[in-house]
Structure 1
Amino acid sequence: MQGRYDVKKWFDVLLNLVFGGICLFLLWILAQVFVFASFRIPSDSMSPELKEGDFVLVWKPLVGARLFNLHKSLNLEQTEIYRIPGFRKIRRNDVVVFNFPHPNDWSHIEMHILKYYIKRCIGLPGDTLSIHGGIFHIAGVASPLGNLASQKRIGQMKAEDFPQEVFQSFPYDSLLNWNIKNFGPLYIPKAGSEVKMDRTGWVLYHKLIEWEQGKDLIFRGSSVLLNDSVITTYRFRKNYYFVAGDRGENSQDSRYWGLLPEEYIVGVASRIWKSVDRYTDKVRWDRVWKAIE
């Protein structure tokens, strides 16, 4: 009888351990979805604020966690994304983590759940952004945007100092001829705003409109056609952002691939919770729990 009691006792302990493990796993998953996420910095594009090997913490309730069909996303299918209301909106100079909107090529927008970028928010929905002599400007905003030291270095360089693929920028149009020293003005659409649909409107916004509508937007002759219907204006359904790396000389950002849909933003990076030197594998203790500014 004693042996049978011991077996039952150990079986109950085992069941409790399994149940506890399942509960902890589910709590971890819920925390990853609604509370926080961690991302490793893979390059120096956000230097000097963030270094390669930093692990950053994103506190999701700040701007609101996202809900979407994870199964579809893992199968690389596009799916609707919903955001739970957060404590505040994204601000200029926030460092944001997001799903890169061009995981396969830069001709159209799509989400890849496993491909993330981290950049600094420069322009908000409704802003009009330009670059003069390498320096970012927002109409009506006097405060500095992004890493001024990097922008000044770019402004002091000559066009021939850059590789062609680095100097030329979005939207890669011969008439506009924008580059990373002189760019814009570019209006950043917000939900409900309306833009004129002419050649320039098509060049600047056709990727966004095709993503919103799921239809082709074509410029033919002097007209813009949405699924064979001529349109002269377009009212946006979504909000968009302009993001850039702090090390502008080596950063694939909105200067190159265009505007970022709000739905693709995971959240604002708040702190470095761990930092490991890639060459020595040693923890950089002076960076642990450093606030990201």
Structure 2
Amino acid sequence: MNWKFWKKNKGTEPKKKKSKAREWTDAIIFAVVAATIIRVFFIEAYTIPSGSMERSLLVGDFLFVSKVNYGARIPMTPIAFPFAHHTMPLTGTKAYWDGVQWKYRRLPGFQDVKRNDVVVFNFPEGDTVALENQNASYYDLVRNSSWKEVNSQYTITSRPVDKRENYIKRCIAIAGDVVSMKNGIANVNGKDEPLKNTGMMPYLVKFKSPEVNMQVLEKLGFATNEITPTPAPNTFSVNASALMIDELRKLDFVESAMMDPALPTDTELGGIFPHDPNRNWNRDNFGPIKVPAKGWTVQLDSNTMPLYYRAIRTYEGNTVEKSGNDWLINGKKATSYTFKMNYYWMMGDNRHNSADSRYWGFVPEDHVVGKALFIWMSFDSSGSWFSKIRWSRIFKGIN
């Protein structure tokens, strides 16, 4: 054998060409990894499934949500199927393995959560789920019947923080704020915060005659299928923003338009947070409630524990027990508690069609996913295919 020839030509042999299948496999793996990194750390697409944020956001809006504004959250459940949130699309099985759980950590962001930000977050009461009835909170089901009945009727599962259902609401109050509501008007730190022009509340509208031009109302943004008659002559109940009502009053066939003086009390499943029989609160009248802030110390008594029990036990991972008139935290008697995280109070703009903090309380900072930036596509469910696209909403910013 010619060793000089072998050494000279060592490594110069042409490499074996990849097969088409191997090239496609490599390309797909690269695309999945790149898309996952973008989705986890930079920006992600979401869709609006319900009308709780109307008229700010409409059903059928597709949004881009920034992960960098508040700082991207490091995955807490790192082993998961790409692009599936908590359930596999075909099999209905879990899309993640919760055998490995990382502590909550977040990369530095450009800003903190501010009042009036539109925020995507994980549903706080989504830690326990009745699989056959996921539209309802498990805790509401239990409050409405009993633990035994719910657990015998449904398949119950638990979910880690980052695999709970995604919600989108407006941040009404940040950590340290005091929030309340009277006759449907929110109050933060002693200052009334009326709904923006996008917010919806019930109004009574009286027309001058039974003949009503519905096309004019549609142009103003009213959903004509939601205009319902009342016992009073020519008077209808509508959901509208203050701006819509101002425009409505200008019409010559409208006699009057005023907010419904008899705002309905809450009759929804489970009732109002903190579900305390000693508090006669409803969705339009509640509070005051102080939103917990990191480092804030609350005195523990019969008045404060209903408000902060779940935050102390579930969100901050302590054992909480009552022994006689005393409270035990992690087995030790406690007269106060200092919070480890910031919390937020989230509400929908469509106040009478929104499951929000009024029903399930505070949103912990480790549940915050990102800030809604803009609408990149919007579809209306009615009309022809081309007319389904809401052209005026494409690339519209979210305020």
**Shift in alpha-carbon separation, 1:157–1:110, aligned structure 2, 3 A:** farther
User: Where do 5+ consecutive residues of structure 2 fail to align?
Assistant: 1-14, 81-85, 87-95, 130-137, 141-157, 204-238, 240-258
1:227-242 matches, within 5 Å, as: 227-242=330-345
On the 8 A contact 2:266/2:283 being kept in 1, the answer is no
Give per-residue Cα distances to partners, 1:46-91, cap 9 Å, x unaligned.
1001111111111211111110232278235765221111111111
Letter in 2 for 1:284: R
User: Partner of 1:22: helix, strand, or coil?
Assistant: helix
On the 8 A contact 2:55/2:199 being kept in 1, the answer is no
User: Partner of 1:200: helix, strand, or coil?
Assistant: coil
Give per-residue Cα distances to partners, 1:239-277, cap 9 Å, x unaligned.
100000111101110000000011111111010111111
Tell me whether 131-140 or 18-27 shows the greater mean CA deviation: 18-27
Letter in 2 for 1:25: V
Letter in 1 for 2:289: L
**Inter-partner Cα distance in structure 2 for 1:24 and 1:11:** 18
1:137-216 matches, within 5 Å, as: 137-139=187-189, 141=191, 144=194, 149-150=199-200, 156-158=260-262, 161-162=264-265, 164-165=267-268, 168-216=271-319
What is the CA-CA distance between 1:173 and the residue it aligns to?
A: 1.2
User: Where do 5+ consecutive residues of structure 1 fail to align?
Assistant: 1-7
Q: Is 1:106 matched with 2:139?
A: yes
What is the CA-CA distance between 1:213 and the residue it aligns to?
A: 4.5
**Inter-partner Cα distance in structure 1 for 2:162 and 2:272:** 23
**Inter-partner Cα distance in structure 2 for 1:233 and 1:109:** 29
User: Partner of 1:71: helix, strand, or coil?
Assistant: coil
Greater fraction helix: 1
User: Partner of 2:321: helix, strand, or coil?
Assistant: strand
**Correspondence for 1:31:** 38
**Correspondence for 2:78:** 70
Q: Is 1:83 matched with 2:106?
A: yes
Which structure's CA Rg is the greater one? Answer: 2
**Inter-partner Cα distance in structure 2 for 1:222 and 1:151:** 42
**Shift in alpha-carbon separation, 1:268–1:66, aligned structure 2, 3 A:** same
The TM-score, its normalising length taken from structure 2, stands at: 0.64
Letter in 1 for 2:390: R
Q: Is 1:124 matched with 2:178?
A: no
**Inter-partner Cα distance in structure 1 for 2:165 and 2:270:** 25
Letter in 1 for 2:122: N
User: Partner of 2:111: helix, strand, or coil?
Assistant: coil
Report percent identity of matched pairs: 36
**Inter-partner Cα distance in structure 2 for 1:166 and 1:131:** 20
Letter in 1 for 2:79: H
On the 8 A contact 2:118/2:170 being kept in 1, the answer is yes
What is the CA-CA distance between 1:24 and the residue it aligns to?
A: 2.9
On the 8 A contact 1:224/1:232 being kept in 2, the answer is yes
1:58 alignment partner, one of 54, 65, 68: 65
Letter in 2 for 1:165: E
The TM-score, its normalising length taken from structure 1, stands at: 0.86
1:218 alignment partner, one of 293, 318, 321: 321
